[in-house]
Amino acid sequence: MDPLCCAPLRTDVLSDTDATDLATVLKALADPTRLRLVSIIAASGEACACDFPAALNKSQPTVSHHLSQLVSAGLLDREQRGKWAWFRVNDARLEQVRAVLT
């Protein structure tokens, strides 16, 4: 009997569905503006969409697009308050990403 040449493969690998889901999240985070948005919101606890254009030096439609991508990926939660949208980081979703990467 030949000895094994290397350690066996891990059995707790990502499924196709989980890998696709994680890729969507990582794609959303793979943009510098989106990373800054997550950072600003995480540091503040929550933030109003009205503050982002000036903070990022980006137009409101551009900021809205980036926020939409982050919400779609499940990284941010959105709450409408009057005419403004407020955002919070979805800590559970970020923890899922951390767990997979560690």
Domain boundaries, the chain: 16-101
pTM for this model (two decimals): 0.84
Q: At what angle do helices 60-72 and 32-44 cross, to 10 degrees?
A: 80
End-to-end CA distance of the chain: 35
Q: What is the CATH topology of the domain spanning 16-101? A: Arc Repressor Mutant, subunit A (1.10.10)
Beta strands in the chain (DSSP E): 47-48, 76-81, 84-89
When pLDDT is cut at 50, 70 and 90, the band that residue 57 belongs to is very high
3-state secondary structure of 86: strand
When pLDDT is cut at 50, 70 and 90, the band that residue 101 belongs to is confident
Q: Which residue has the tokens 């499924």?
A: 15
Q: How far is CA 92 from CA 25, 82, 99, in A?
A: 13, 26, 10
What mean pLDDT comes out for the span 80-92?
Answer: 96
